[in-house]
Structure 1
Amino acid sequence: MTILIALAVIFLFRLSYPLPGRIYRFAGVPGSSGYNSDNIQATAATLNIPTGVRVDNRNNVVYISDYNNNRVRVVDCNTTIIKTLAGTTSGFVDNVSPSASKLSQPMDTVIDPLTQQIYISDSANNRIRVINKTSNTIKTIAGSGSTSYTQNVLGTTSGINLPGGIAMDSRNNRLYISEYNTYRILYVSLEDGYIHTLAGSANGFDGDGGLAVNAKLINPMCITVDESRNMAYFCDTGNNRVRSVNLSTGIIQTIVGTGSTAYNGNNIPASSVNLNSCKGLAINVPENVFTIDRFE
């Protein structure tokens, strides 16, 4: 497994296209933030702290969590036109069409490859929302709006404290949620709608080599799943580490980071590298893990 470290880019999303090794602006206006319009070229549209990007290869579109615009935007990669998928202004409106809904600082999106439903981490509403493309409606599947978490109950009856990154697990039919304001990674069973704890029992750092539900975490931010290996990876942001959970055994391990924040170079073992508030995570087919590292 290879670990790769990258830098975050704010207000611009860029894709290496069409020439490998070169970087291109994909959406956003350099030096500008806010919301100016929809149904225009993505490079002419202003964004406001975009926090999540998801590529939908099946439909050849890219979803952007436009955090401070309280919208989820979508770019058609064939035309490069951007439009709003969900959200209008800050607030909460449910069981309506996505275009009539209200979101509050959406942090992340993920697509179910089997059903094509789109899940949204509606962070300031403390809810997880889902868009059913067939019925063209949005509804809540987890979170009551409160911040008080109760496990092993219907997801809509439990509170969630600032959901951050989310990840789809088709193998186990689960949706994972990083609860950024606390110390937990949660999951919703998409079979019965119940919410459970995957990792985290208290604030701090502890638990490597043991059951993830007993481990200590601080402000976990992002999560991704390798279904082929039945593994989940997440940024334990407050501990400056990337950790993994074996979904077959429930065991947690640190795979990147020492806990220290001072930059100590590249081309060293992942277990020896220092990270500083890592906040982004992705994997690809050869089992490379990419994380966003922040140094100031």
Structure 2
Amino acid sequence: MIHRVLSTIVLAASCGAAAAEAPRVASVEVVIGARFEDEGGPADAPASPLNAPFGLDFDAQGGMYIVELEGGRVRERTPEGVLRVMAGDGSTGSAGDGGPAVQATFNGMHNVAVTKTGQLLISDTWNHCVRAIDLSSRTIDTLAGTRQAGFSGDGGPARDAQFDFVMCVALTHDQQRLLIADINNFRVRDVDLRTGIVRTIAGNGRRGAPEDGQSAVDQPLVDPRAAAADSQGRVYVLERGGHALRRIDLDGTIRTVAGDGTAGLSDGDRQTSRLNAPKHLCVDDSDRVWIADDENAAIRCYDPRSEALTTVLGRGTGDATLRLRHPHGVCWRDGVLWVADTRNDRILKVTFAAD
């Protein structure tokens, strides 16, 4: 394991109708993986132990959990820095429920969320379900989905419901609900973790861009790739093919807050900002939204106070030498942004200058 610190300061930027200073990167550390030669690293940097890391999250003790899309494993990095396999035998399948997680098989894991009660929740995408690992017993089970692609089950037990490509999962701020990006059903759904009941909170099953100010459940969605909630209970929906960030407000209506629907890279407000196939998002302690903008090889930040989208890392911003390659996962913890730099097979720790 190599630890490299890439010190940098990103220039403050203002954009949108209400000017706002962009978060200023103080340092970028490669926590797992390496800095490459064209980034100023060694020519003989060792191969990363990770294989296409897509999503990551932390437990209450600071342990990090990483899902590998192509490796078929869940990796655990202890607070002491020890990296080990905690789930998955590396093969493709859907076996293992009721037994040790390390012997289970998965099919295209894209994301992970850890509850305060010690459950590791995994979007087992091409198995069309959410798997749950008990961190005490290290056993695995299915939380939601029948493993058969389809749409059914709203109003009933999540385990009996059908999904079609569970792309990403995320916990609400109070951890009482699990948000599920049900991409091929063009819906965002959630599971009440107290009752196990599933429902749709956005999308009517048809593909298309939603109309601002209308009921979220009555509007189409292009392709909801990920969803995350802020501290107020508002839910942000990220669409890869829609090249947009949308928000479900507390009254149940939906509107686009960033991205004009055309692929591109530009900062600004709703009318001027552009994204290019964004893959994942998270919300920080100030309710800012962080976006892994995949095809732009950049990390973007949407600030709801200024209603502005800003490029913070990548493409020469935030660090002049850092080269992101298809970043897919972002996670905010204790004032630090963690990035799964997927095609570089590495995990980055990004710290920021004080406001």
Mark yes or no: TM-score above 0.5: yes
Identical amino acids, percent of aligned pairs: 24
Pick one of 183, 186, 189 that aligns with 1:183. Answer: 186
1:225-236 equivalences under 5 Å are: 225-226=229-230, 228-236=231-239
Does residue 95 of the first structure (1) align with residue 110 of the second (2)? no
For structure 1, the residue ranges without an aligned partner over 5 or more in a row are: 1-11, 32-42
Q: What is aligned with 2:279?
A: 279
Cα separation, 1, equivalents of 2:3 and 2:216: 35
Conservation of the 8 A alpha-carbon contact between 2:54 and 2:110: yes
Q: Using the TM superposition, give the Cα deviation of residue 131 of structure 1 relative to its aligned residue in structure 2, in angstroms.
A: 1.2
Cα separation, 2, equivalents of 1:178 and 1:14: 34
Distance 1:172 1:105, change over 3 A: closer
Conservation of the 8 A alpha-carbon contact between 1:207 and 1:214: no
Describe the SS at the equivalent of 1:153: coil
Q: What is aligned with 1:26?
A: 31
| Greater RCO (Cα-Cα under 8 Å, separation 6 or more) | 2
1:101-120 equivalences under 5 Å are: 101-113=104-116, 115-120=117-122
Conservation of the 8 A alpha-carbon contact between 2:176 and 2:193: yes
Distance 1:123 1:259, change over 3 A: same
Distance 1:91 1:253, change over 3 A: same
Conservation of the 8 A alpha-carbon contact between 2:173 and 2:233: no
Letter in 2 for 1:180: I
Cα separation, 1, equivalents of 2:278 and 2:48: 28
Q: Deviations over 1:94-153 (max 9, x none)?
A: 11121121111211110112x121111111111101112234321101110111111222
Distance 1:259 1:221, change over 3 A: same
Q: What is aligned with 1:55?
A: 58
Describe the SS at the equivalent of 2:126: helix
Cα separation, 2, equivalents of 1:13 and 1:276: 31
Conservation of the 8 A alpha-carbon contact between 1:16 and 1:22: yes
Does residue 69 of the first structure (1) align with residue 74 of the second (2)? no
Distance 1:231 1:14, change over 3 A: farther
Q: Using the TM superposition, give the Cα deviation of residue 17 of structure 1 relative to its aligned residue in structure 2, in angstroms.
A: 8.4
Q: What is aligned with 1:84?
A: 85
Q: What is aligned with 1:199?
A: 202
Q: Using the TM superposition, give the Cα deviation of residue 67 of structure 1 relative to its aligned residue in structure 2, in angstroms.
A: 0.8
Q: What is aligned with 2:348?
A: none
Q: Using the TM superposition, give the Cα deviation of residue 22 of structure 1 relative to its aligned residue in structure 2, in angstroms.
A: 2.4
Cα separation, 2, equivalents of 1:16 and 1:260: 35
Cα separation, 1, equivalents of 2:4 and 2:271: 29
Describe the SS at the equivalent of 2:111: strand
Conservation of the 8 A alpha-carbon contact between 2:145 and 2:162: yes
Describe the SS at the equivalent of 1:25: strand
Pick one of 212, 216, 222 that aligns with 1:212. Answer: 216
Pick one of 138, 144, 157 that aligns with 2:160. Answer: 157
Distance 1:212 1:13, change over 3 A: farther
1:122-133 equivalences under 5 Å are: 122-133=124-135
Q: Deviations over 1:205-231 (max 9, x none)?
A: 1232111111111221111111x2111
Letter in 2 for 1:179: D
Cα separation, 2, equivalents of 1:51 and 1:206: 28
Letter in 1 for 2:29: Y
Q: What is aligned with 1:269?
A: 269
For structure 2, the residue ranges without an aligned partner over 5 or more in a row are: 9-24, 37-45, 298-355
Letter in 1 for 2:83: I
TM-score (ref. length: structure 1): 0.82
Q: Deviations over 1:48-102 (max 9, x none)?
A: 221112133x211211111111111111232x22111211121112111211211
Conservation of the 8 A alpha-carbon contact between 1:165 and 1:177: yes
Cα separation, 1, equivalents of 2:221 and 2:3: 31
Distance 1:16 1:284, change over 3 A: farther
Distance 1:129 1:209, change over 3 A: same
